[in-house]
A and B are shown apart, each in its own frame.
Chain A
Amino acid sequence: SSELTQDPTVSVALGQTVRITCQGDSLRGYYASWYQQKPGQAPVLVMYGRNNRPSGIPDRFSGSSSGNTASLTITGAQAEDEADYYCNSRDSSAYHEVFGGGTKLTVL
């Protein structure tokens, strides 16, 4: 089955732009979806498809994809964006799902 690889930790200065990436073969055929998880809470969908934000997600979040890499960009990071971020896509070989290992975002 496919794997999705994420950087374990990323940091960004308050108000600056940060890109969180996700790499995997499945991303050549499927878009990633992205989830934000704060301590003690369930994950929340923040991005899916080409660049689709669910209702209620601030427009500072955007998504992109190229080749085997998907990216979640936060433009003007806020303190409340500090969280773990997980990418997900369908597995390229079968009707299964795979999650990345997660990226812990620290806002300095």
Chain B
Amino acid sequence: QVQLQESGPGLVKPSQTLSLTCTVSGGSISSGGYYWSWIRQHPGKGLEWIGYVYDSGTTYYNPSLKSRVTISVDTSKNQFSLNLSSVTAADTAVYYCARAGGAGPYNWFDPWGQGTLVTVSS
């Protein structure tokens, strides 16, 4: 079955860019019908949707993060990536990648990667 795995630095300095990659295994990122998502969870808090990308490259972002977020897809590597610029301590969180799907009035996120903790600190 499809599995997702996040990778990237666990520590980022303030004002720098947080960069994470999600590698998809067990299926093709270009299989169609899905969109590839980033979601984060601040320590002890709830889930926050960051955005998603279609295999075509079309993206949708959380309006509150839109000015700092870029999500891209590399179908040749079966990966998609997150860049979050100008980070502050408020961006410290566990970052999850997830496959999203659905049609019409319903959608879902499944499966999820295991998550990776990113700490913003000097």
Contact between A31 and B105 (Cβ–Cβ < 8 Å)?
Answer: yes
Q: Determine chain B's interface SS by DSSP, over half rule.
A: strand
Tell me, yes or no, whether A61 is within 8 Å of chain B by CB.
Answer: no
- Of the candidates A31, A86, A97, the one whose C-beta lies within 8 Å of that of B46 is A86
Within 8 A of A (CB), among B25-61: 37, 39, 46-49, 52, 60-61
Residues of B within 8 A of A102 (CB): 46-47
Within 8 A of B (CB), among A80-108: 86, 88-90, 94-102
Contact between B96 and A42 (Cβ–Cβ < 8 Å)?
Answer: yes
Task: Kindly name the residue among B48, B49, B62, B109 whose own CB sees the greatest number of chain A CB atoms within 10 A.
Answer: B109
Tell me, yes or no, whether A66 is within 8 Å of chain B by CB.
Answer: no
Contact between A45 and B108 (Cβ–Cβ < 8 Å)?
Answer: yes
Within 8 A of A (CB), among B75-122: 96, 100, 102, 105-115
- Of the candidates A1, A29, A33, A96, the one whose C-beta lies within 8 Å of that of B108 is A33
Q: By the criterion of a CB under 8 Å from any partner CB, how many residues of chain B are at the interface?
A: 25
Q: When A and B form their complex, what is the total count of cross-chain residue pairs whose Cβ atoms lie within 8 Å?
A: 72
Chain B nearest CB from A55 CB (Å) reads 9
Tell me, yes or no, whether A14 is within 8 Å of chain B by CB.
Answer: no
Residues of B within 8 A of A88 (CB): 47, 49, 108-109
Q: A30-B105, A35-B109, A42-B114 are in contact. Are A96 and B62 (CB under 8 A)?
A: yes
Contact between B105 and A48 (Cβ–Cβ < 8 Å)?
Answer: no
Contact between B102 and A48 (Cβ–Cβ < 8 Å)?
Answer: yes
Contact between B115 and A42 (Cβ–Cβ < 8 Å)?
Answer: yes
Residues of B within 8 A of A29 (CB): 105
Contact between A99 and B48 (Cβ–Cβ < 8 Å)?
Answer: yes
Tell me, yes or no, whether A76 is within 8 Å of chain B by CB.
Answer: no
Contact between B46 and A96 (Cβ–Cβ < 8 Å)?
Answer: no
Distance between Cα atoms of A89 and B111 in the complex (Å) = 16
Chain B nearest CB from A96 CB (Å) reads 6
Residues of B within 8 A of A99 (CB): 39, 46-49
Partner-B contacts on A (CB < 8 A): 1, 29-31, 33, 35, 42-45, 48-50, 52, 54, 86, 88-90, 94-102
